[in-house]
Chain A
Amino acid sequence: MNQSRMKKISMSFGILGVVAVLILHYMVFFWVPTESSMGIVQRIFYIHVPSWWVAFISFGIVALCSGVYLWLGDDRLDAAAVTAAEGGMIFTTIGLLTGPLWGKIAWGAWWTWEPRLTLALLLWFIYLGYFLVRRSALNPEKGKRLAAVVGIIGVLDIPLIHVSVSWLRSLHPEAVVLNPDGPTLDGSMLATLLVGLLAYSLIFVCLFTVRYATELIDRGTQIQDV
């Protein structure tokens, strides 16, 4: 894949993403009905959930690429892992900022030590460690290996953190889409959420491809070899 083709792909995803985000905001502000119990603040849901969706996908990519990087030693996998981690950090931060805005109105507190909130905060710190390890290593090659180890351990720890913190009482709304009894969300709300998921995914793919290409250029790797 050459550089101009990669640029076209990222541009296409970027344009589609921006259009989807505009449609999403129209739906959030003018189309979708207001939720009966939480009121207008529930509309943050359509930004909050898609940002976590993308954050978890990107952390999955980090763990996968890190694992295969340690196995094969291919520098492009490390570039993909660091690119996904950067995207994950951005969307985790969006999730962490939108959550308390919603929580303050819905629960009456900016923050509670609820399982999913705790997991989100810890994930943010695990990936802060991922970047610190990479940047502070005197040997850059070792820095990549150490970051890959942190990425893998971080993902392995996610279920442990979730199970452990779930011992505390959960305040967080139950899953309304991936519910074992089927989605419990109103049809228009579900449609808005799906547009949100699509929009954020497109934006993520655009950011990922642009950042991945620049990362390879920074490393002096030939994009033609990809």
Chain B
Amino acid sequence: MKYLSVVWTVARKDLLVEIRTLERLVAMSAFSVLIGVLFHFAIDTSLIRAQTIAPSLIWMASIFAGMLGLGRIYIIEDENRALSGLLQSPISLDALYFGKVLSNFIILLSIVVLILFVFAVFFNLSFPGNLLGWTSLSAVVFLGVLSFVSIMTLLSAVAVNNTMGESIIPVLVFPLLVPTVIHTVTATNRIFANRPFVEIEGNLRILAAIVLIFLVAGASLFRFVIEE
């Protein structure tokens, strides 16, 4: 229980900082809506049916918004030496990692939910009409966001004290995200097409395995990326 309360304390601290400044949430929300507008005009609807590719665009927008918001988490903390203070506190580094994963997860999840509804309006998408469809969609969003956040929380630390800053993060993260993108996009497309659950089940299983591997690797390797 003590471990979980440490994780929650770290997450709560990050969320409080975010609520007080609203910097990342505002930037990510505005970006999400604007990228939806750009995507809409980037599609020639006389050639392609927008509803067919909209679920894929939802995940592209989520990943770009996540890059924008989560790429600078440690740079912001390092600017006023808060990161040094955090590292000197008597908490285990894996608890620190899980705390940051939790806060980033809550922030990105709220943005992905916003993207889902905004894109549904922009692209005239119909949400699933039954409970199973909603449960599947929730599971895909939950696992997709957690998978992205677990790897971003680990590798965003690379941007601190680095001559390339956060511009290095996409080069590191995008190749690793391909499995996540394949399964979240496939599952989301099928959910919006009202396909049976058996066609989505396999994607969910692999997404769960990806999340598990990323979280275990992240917690084990976090100390090597965060310590000076």
A138–B209 CA distance with the chains assembled, in angstroms: 35
List of A residues within 8 angstroms of B217 by Cβ: 152-153, 156
Which of chain A's residues have a CB closer than 8 A to the CB of B176?
126, 153-154, 157
For the residues of B in contact with A, the DSSP-based class is helix
Q: Which of A117-145 contact B (CB under 8 A)?
A: 118, 122-123, 125-126, 128-129, 132-133, 136-139, 142, 145
Residue of B nearest to A135 (CB): B163
Q: Provide a sorted-by-A list of 26 A–B residue pairs whose CB atoms are within 8 angstroms.
A: A123-B175, A129-B168, A132-B164, A132-B168, A133-B158, A133-B162, A136-B164, A137-B158, A138-B162, A139-B228, A142-B161, A142-B228, A148-B224, A152-B217, A153-B151, A153-B154, A154-B176, A160-B179, A160-B209, A160-B213, A161-B179, A163-B206, A164-B178, A164-B182, A164-B183, A167-B182
Instruction: Say yes or no: A153-B171 contact (C-beta < 8 A), given A138-B162, A164-B206, A165-B178.
Output: no
Q: Does B16 touch A at the CB level, under 8 Å? A: no
B213 pairs with A149, CB closer than 8 A: no
A residues near B (Cβ < 8 Å) are: 70, 118, 122-123, 125-126, 128-129, 132-133, 136-139, 142, 145-146, 148-150, 152-154, 156-157, 160-161, 163-165, 167
A148 partner residues in chain B, CB cutoff 8 A: 224
B residues 212-228 with Cβ under 8 Å of A?
A: 213, 217, 221, 224-225, 228
A149 and B175 form a contact (CB under 8 A)? no
A interface SS class: helix
Contact B168 A133 (CB under 8 A): yes
* Chain B residues within 8 Å of A, Cβ to Cβ: 151, 154-155, 158, 161-164, 168, 171-172, 174-176, 178-179, 182-183, 186, 206, 209-210, 213, 217, 221, 224-225, 228
Interface centre among A122, A139, A157 (most CB of B within 10 A): A157
How far, in angstroms, from A133 to B156 measured CA to CA in the complex? 12
User: Hey, which chain B residues are within 8 Å of A142, CB to CB?
Assistant: 161, 228
In the complex, what's the smallest C-beta–C-beta distance from A134 to chain B, in angstroms? Answer: 11
Cβ of B225: which chain A residues have Cβ within 8 Å of it? Answer: 145-146, 149
Distance of A86 Cα from B228 Cα, bound (Å): 26
What are the residues of chain B within 8 A of A122 when measuring CB–CB? 175, 178
B213 touches A129 (CB 8 A): no
Task: Report A20 CB to chain B, min CB distance, Å.
Answer: 33
Complex contacts, B163 vs chain A, CB 8 Å: 136-138
Q: Closest Cβ of chain A: how far from B157's Cβ, in Å?
A: 8
Closest residue to B186 on the A side, CB-wise? A167
CA–CA, A1 and B182, complex, Å: 48
**A149 nearest in chain B by CB position:** B221
Are A157 and B162 touching (Cβ within 8 A)?
no
Residue from A136, A150, A164 within 8 A of B179 (CB atoms): A164
Q: How far is the CA of A17 from the CA of B174 in the complex (A)?
A: 37
* CB of B144 to closest CB in A, whole Å: 13
Using Cβ atoms and an 8 Å threshold, which residues of chain A touch B164?
Answer: 132, 136
Distance from A213 Cβ to chain B, minimum over Cβ atoms (Å): 27
Closest to A125 in B: B175
- Say whether A153 contacts B182, CB under 8 Å: no
Which chain A residues border B158 with CB–CB below 8 Å?
A: 133, 137, 146
Query: In the assembled complex, which residues on chain B have CB atoms less than 8 Å from the CB atom of A70?
Result: 221, 224
Q: Which partner residue on chain B sits nearest A128 by CB separation?
A: B171
